[in-house]
Structure 1
């Protein structure tokens, strides 16, 4: 694992008026969480190179105002150079996502990553939170304003199910002690279209991956994955490592690095037509918080991320072990998890010791 240099932090203090989403929108199913780069970095060129399409792209973006629901009982809003973003994928099969399976109830956040961008915005750490982590979920306000009571030892991904984005953010802030500056949610169907617009993503497998549920069959070697096969990869669980969600997280992290590399190398800004297609797809594929719900705001946000390359992003999974009561669940290793969150709060590298001797899923190195 790579480490970053120590640095300082920034947090936006601007608040938007209270309110709900500007338009109702189907909740999202899990996908590798590439929204930070796909939904923002690619839009960077939209404001400058696609002025004629500005209004069209702006109309695509459907924001959600979580600040009003969260209220004032939150970690300190510190302004000293960094940003923290909660990026979620969720499991609704509604709308265009119905092709990927049967909807079996409320949406849950099957993929969750805290992205910490260090001051100077040349380094970042990503902490994946396993969906099956048993947590103490705090009381929160749901999407319609109804009170959601606190619960002890419930799966992390139920926070989104019972209270939507604001409850998911509050749960992460309660766990980490870190205020989330932004929230971005990824659309399952839009993810596949975005990968296709980019011309696919190149990955190398060191072992065969054959998974009936995700319809993926890859021999060892180098592959350029289109959208459907990329989605299959990040959904794969049973056929890699120990078959747990932790193994799937390792695949997602490896794919995310390959995706960042693809975004950097594809040269989308040299072709206005190609840029518009990618920006159009990207703005439809995400639901950001209300402070990022316009092309202008996303463009400004993207400028802060445009220096990041694959080698600049350090990815870990929140330290967990399998629950002794239920081996299908995991629980945080409290002392080690505190090391992770305290490092981010202090804008320091995550120490290697924080993730040693914890559950991993045993899928590391299968995808490069």
Structure 2
């Protein structure tokens, strides 16, 4: 979109409100006994990323600012396969990636989405079998998670950004869909029809109430709306975050212990974190650090990219905007105006008359590269 993606209402505070939900769960668990608290903690899965990566990393900030890498996994394992369809192999890639930078005073946050098809230099990593995975030039960003799991995804992101990823949070397809169902579904509005046989999403123009499976299809759809690019899909994901927060705000979680417990149980089951965040207490501590971030203090952008010269189905960082963005976050500054001004449009908010041209790829400016597609993945 052409203007800054700022939070204008509590609907945009996705990570913050999810963590405050956990705060309420701590109080609830304390009231019903130790078993409940143990249950929530046992739901969480964690990875010792610090132990795997060692000290050869960007230094951690000493001024109070910090960064969180949030990934959505496209694993087809278990119940994910029936939801996601497509390739049901044993591998998994990062379907969605966001770098969340929280400033020194914990009064503002910048969220940068990294398109999964961005070509990067992937560093040497350790695979799940313990063997060394050699470095690769012009590797897709989302392949890091596939070859080396969370630690390789973090290492690749740190090399790309120059930022230390202090924390890691991961959610898979089934976890996302289950969370949507637990909050009673979400409302989304599209100004154009969405008809995507790959994701299975078929929506007429208008407002719709989506359950978990449909909400998952909405955040994964590409080919049924706009120009079919991953950039458009990222904008749909931002729209979904607004819808989730609207629904959470409408159901009164803190005044409804049964719903609060159901949502918290689904949320903790859905998450994989770094080991430092691997407990309800640690997540609540993170929520405390985020509580000063209000409706107008979060900026959401997509990493500026252009079509890769060697492959029209891939993108690379757009210079100098990408460098300016990462330099600003390293200096604990806000997102540069040049980045804000070059954001893609949300295809679900397109003018109906312009849809056909967009789908035909009529617009392929530097800020809106050609459609990209991950081989073997939707």
Q: Same fold (TM over 0.5)?
A: yes
Counterpart of 2:88 (choices 103, 106, 109) is 103
1:129-182 CA distance string (max 9 Å, x none): 111111111112334543221111111111111111001001000010000010
- Residue 187 of structure 2 aligns to a residue whose secondary structure is strand
Q: How does 1:101-250 map to 2 (within 5 A)?
A: 101=85, 102-250=87-235
Deviation at 1:364, TM superposition (A): 6.8
Looking at structure 2, the residues matched to 291 and 306 of structure 1 have their Cα atoms a distance apart, in angstroms, of 19
Deviation at 1:115, TM superposition (A): 1.0
- Residue 312 of structure 2 aligns to a residue whose secondary structure is coil
Deviation at 1:260, TM superposition (A): 3.0
- Residue 42 of structure 1 aligns to a residue whose secondary structure is helix
Looking at structure 1, the residues matched to 295 and 262 of structure 2 have their Cα atoms a distance apart, in angstroms, of 24
Segment of structure 1 superposing worse, 147-156 or 208-217: 208-217
Q: How has the CA–CA distance of structure 1 residues 366 and 40 changed in structure 2, closer, same or farther, with 3 Å as cutoff?
A: farther
Counterpart of 2:29 (choices 50, 54, 66) is 50
Give yes or no for contact 2:60–2:164 (8 Å, CA) kept in 1.
Answer: yes
Q: Which residue is 2:72 aligned to?
A: 89
Provide the alpha-carbon RMSD of the alignment. Answer: 2.3
Looking at structure 2, the residues matched to 144 and 160 of structure 1 have their Cα atoms a distance apart, in angstroms, of 14
1:51-85 CA distance string (max 9 Å, x none): 22101111111111111111111111112122210
Q: How many residues align?
A: 337
Give yes or no for contact 2:81–2:88 (8 Å, CA) kept in 1.
Answer: yes
Give yes or no for contact 1:3–1:349 (8 Å, CA) kept in 2.
Answer: no
Looking at structure 1, the residues matched to 208 and 20 of structure 2 have their Cα atoms a distance apart, in angstroms, of 24
Hey, which of these two has a bigger chunk of helix by percent? 2
Q: Which residue is 1:280 aligned to?
A: 265
Segment of structure 1 superposing worse, 45-54 or 283-292: 45-54
Deviation at 1:37, TM superposition (A): 4.7
State whether structure 2 residue 46 is matched by structure 1 residue 67. Answer: no
Give yes or no for contact 2:77–2:90 (8 Å, CA) kept in 1.
Answer: no
Give yes or no for contact 2:179–2:266 (8 Å, CA) kept in 1.
Answer: yes
- Residue 43 of structure 1 aligns to a residue whose secondary structure is helix
1:206-228 CA distance string (max 9 Å, x none): 22212112222222222232212
- Residue 276 of structure 2 aligns to a residue whose secondary structure is coil
Counterpart of 2:313 (choices 328, 338, 341) is 328
Q: Which residue is 2:362 aligned to?
A: none
State whether structure 2 residue 349 is matched by structure 1 residue 365. Answer: yes
Q: Which residue is 2:247 aligned to?
A: 262
Q: How has the CA–CA distance of structure 1 residues 171 and 299 changed in structure 2, closer, same or farther, with 3 Å as cutoff?
A: same
Segment of structure 1 superposing worse, 146-155 or 179-188: 146-155
1:202-259 CA distance string (max 9 Å, x none): 2221222121122222222222322122111101100222101111111111212332
Deviation at 1:190, TM superposition (A): 1.6
Q: Which runs of 5+ in 1 are unaligned?
A: 5-33
Give yes or no for contact 1:134–1:155 (8 Å, CA) kept in 2.
Answer: yes
Q: Which residue is 1:337 aligned to?
A: 322
Looking at structure 2, the residues matched to 143 and 292 of structure 1 have their Cα atoms a distance apart, in angstroms, of 22
Q: Which residue is 2:282 aligned to?
A: 297
1:286-305 CA distance string (max 9 Å, x none): 10110011111111112223
Q: How has the CA–CA distance of structure 1 residues 361 and 137 changed in structure 2, closer, same or farther, with 3 Å as cutoff?
A: farther
TM-score by length of 1: 0.85
Looking at structure 2, the residues matched to 298 and 269 of structure 1 have their Cα atoms a distance apart, in angstroms, of 17
Looking at structure 2, the residues matched to 49 and 299 of structure 1 have their Cα atoms a distance apart, in angstroms, of 13
Q: Which residue is 2:364 aligned to?
A: none
- Residue 213 of structure 1 aligns to a residue whose secondary structure is coil
Give yes or no for contact 1:240–1:363 (8 Å, CA) kept in 2.
Answer: yes
Q: Which residue is 1:316 aligned to?
A: 301
Q: Which residue is 2:366 aligned to?
A: none
Looking at structure 1, the residues matched to 21 and 54 of structure 2 have their Cα atoms a distance apart, in angstroms, of 32
- Residue 327 of structure 1 aligns to a residue whose secondary structure is strand
